[in-house]
Amino acid sequence: MTATAADDAQPGTQTRFRVVFSALMLVLLLASLDQTITATALPTIVGELGGLSFLSWVVTAYLLTSTVVGPIYGKLGDLYGRKRILQGAILIFLTGSMTSGLTQSLPQLIATQALQGIGGGGLIVTTMAAIGDVVSARDRGRYQGYFGAVFGLATVIGPLIGGFLVEHVSWRAIFFVNVPVGIAALIALSVALPPGSREHRRIDFLGAALLALTLGSLVLFTSLGGTTFAWSSAPVVGLMVCSAVGLPLFLLVERRAAEPILPPQLLRNVVFRVSGSIGLITGFALFGSITYLPLYLQVARGEAPAVSGLQVMPMMVGVLLTSVATGQIISRTGRYKIFPSIGTALMTLGLSCLATLKPDTSVWLVSLYVTILGLGLGMVMQVVVLAVQNAVDYRMLGVATSAAILCRSIGGAVGVSIFGAIFANRLAANLAALPPGITVPHGAADPAVINALPEASRLAYVHAFVLALHPVFVTAAVVAAFGCGISFLLRELPLRKTVAPGDSFPMPRDATSLEELGMILQRLAENENRWRVYAIITKRAKLDLPPAAIWLLFRLAEGAPQDGAEFASRFGLDPGEIARPLGALRKRRLVADNAEGVLCLTEKGQAAMERLVAARREELNDLFAVWEPRQHGDVQRLIDDFAHQIGRHMPVEVTA
């Protein structure tokens, strides 16, 4: 089932589409929430299961596996059909969720989170692709935009939902809640989602394995070194060697892979290298802050889990505010280089402020610090993706976009691991340096346990705990400052008219260049001044018609309801609103009532439509000239499809 436009489908098809779309949204929401929902539950989890020094592994395991498997899922969906692959990803995700809720030790939870990440990475990537099996290319960008909004919302509300469930139900509920929702989505997709098309793709298994080896070794090296094993021990040295050898081997394999995860051509692109580095640093700061801020709020300040989740919200609100504002400014000015520089500077300031936290720091100051951090993150996240899209040719558009977002995910996985190592080492040293007579539980993080300590012991533990967090935020601030320095190396190329700011929280995806171009085209179509567009194509087609009449002609030509009252109702108009444009069409004999009294295009009207579509096609070809549409048949077909689409709503004259 592929709808030319979901809204124009027959009732049965509409119902089926809504079932599929709702199920896909649920699946994406679950996978997106699991990237941040565990943060506010970590103190309680560690309090019950123990293992504070390995706390970061719970987050890192999910981020690491979901990052590595994402590109593979995209190609598996092309090979075997996205329905089958999505069903498999849901089953893996639900298995990981169920077993995570049943774990009795932290190592078990880390293992089950890694399993859940294998499914979660597939859910995000495959869901984005699966919408292409149920809507046309011209509508795909609009629905993928909805998915981007859900991904951003989940990132924002994840800590809050996690805290609420921990406080009012149990920390295990954050995993069990996935199961009934996931099963419902699985049943709906099994019934309603079509198998989808298949195409031959070569999967870079060796590259993915080497990337997993490199990142996994780095994570284990930073987590185990100095805590479980001495830095000079054989396991730690072996992990360091694996990480050091794995990276050049990965780059070597990518040079020879038919469809590499990270094409060497991208690494030779200066804009990608700078943008990718900034993306790494952004992920580093984002996921590190989300992980360790709730720890401070619950352990040092004694806040309830739900309250700690609420107090992290200002950071996410800041991200949304500046990402929207930045997108608007870039769209109007065409300048983008300054924003990563300002954003990383604000990130550095926010993280430096967080490094001064004390047990009695005012909640308003904490909110101010995290808001500054969020404002900085929002200026960077979408801009680095836009800079990459603006610097590559059509053939590299899809993989370049995916790789830019992959860099952020890698930064998050590695950053949380490094922060965890720093925190665990400093906490152990701080507790060892406490004066004699002060007895504190090593590795405790459950606020209830800490609050039950004798006052002197509680104060000593909280002080040692907060001091252990300081180097975490200092390190993050130094890395952000390094990113600020790198941002000045970003080359600002003239912004193409066919590149527009995208989602506030760019999602991991494995889109082809055509799919990525379709999303860009959809964003441009939604943001353009339609009154001006109608005026342009009318002039090109050499027709003397007002924009509203052109819109009405397009709607009638695509088979919209042709009874006046039904037409007005369908498009949310008053019958009087279509009287004037309809009169203009009748006057020029472009439409007329047939023998049954149904409004139809006349031969003259059909000829006018052909001229208008040709004019719109010419305009889009001129706009997309940099992508060489006439050299790429698939791009030309996409443009031809969009040439028939001039918006659902009647244009309103805009003077700005």
The string of DSSP letters for 253-295 reads HHHH-SS-SS-HHHHT-HHHHHHHHHHHHHHHHHHHHHHHHHH
> Predicted confidence band at 31 (pLDDT cuts at 50, 70, 90)?
confident
Specify the domain boundaries for CATH 1.10.10.10 within the chain: 528-643
pLDDT score for 651:
64
Burial bucket for residue 454 (CB in 10 Å: 0-12, 13-18, 19+): exposed
Domain topology for 1-203: Growth Hormone; Chain: A; (1.20.1250)
Whether the per-residue pLDDT at 652 is higher than 70: the answer is no
pLDDT score for 15:
74
Question: Could you tell me which residue, 299 or 370, shows the higher pLDDT?
Answer: 370
Whether the per-residue pLDDT at 258 is higher than 80: the answer is no
Query: Tens digit of pLDDT for each residue in 546-555?
Result: 877 877 787 7
Specify the domain boundaries for CATH 1.20.1250.20 within the chain: 1-203, 262-513
Alpha carbon separation from 554 to 41, 295, 419, 565, 587 (Å, rounded):
54, 57, 57, 18, 17
CATH of domain 528-643: 1.10.10.10
Query: Tens digit of pLDDT for each residue in 324-351?
Result: 788 778 777 778 888 889 999 999 999 9
| Whether the predicted model's global pTM rises above the 0.85 cut | no
CA neighbours within 13 Å on the CB side: how many for 317? 12
Whether the per-residue pLDDT at 517 is higher than 70: the answer is no
Cα gap 40→528, rounded to integer Å: 41
Whether the per-residue pLDDT at 467 is higher than 60: the answer is yes
pLDDT score for 402:
73
Whether the per-residue pLDDT at 605 is higher than 50: the answer is yes
Q: Among 274-288, 556-570, 577-591, which is the least confidently predicted range?
A: 556-570
Query: Tens digit of pLDDT for each residue in 73-117?
Result: 767 776 777 788 888 888 999 999 999 989 988 889 989 988 998
Question: The tokens of 600 are what?
Answer: 């139809």
pLDDT score for 139:
59
Q: Report the largest interatomic distance among the alpha carbons of the chain, rounded to a whole angstrom.
A: 101
What are the helix (H) ranges across 132-261? 137-168, 173-176, 178-192, 205-224, 234-256
Whether the per-residue pLDDT at 125 is higher than 90: the answer is no
285, 351 in Cβ contact below 8 A? Answer: yes
Cα gap 43→309, rounded to integer Å: 12
Beta bridge partners of 599: 593
Query: Tens digit of pLDDT for each residue in 297-327?
Result: 888 887 888 788 788 788 878 887 887 788 7
Handedness of CA 68, 73, 76, 80 (dihedral sign): positive
Instruction: Give the CATH class of 262-513.
Output: mainly alpha
> Predicted confidence band at 504 (pLDDT cuts at 50, 70, 90)?
very low
Whether the per-residue pLDDT at 12 is higher than 70: the answer is no
Cα gap 103→265, rounded to integer Å: 44
Whether the per-residue pLDDT at 515 is higher than 70: the answer is no
What is the arithmetic mean of pLDDT over 556-572? 66
What is the arithmetic mean of pLDDT over 510-527? 61
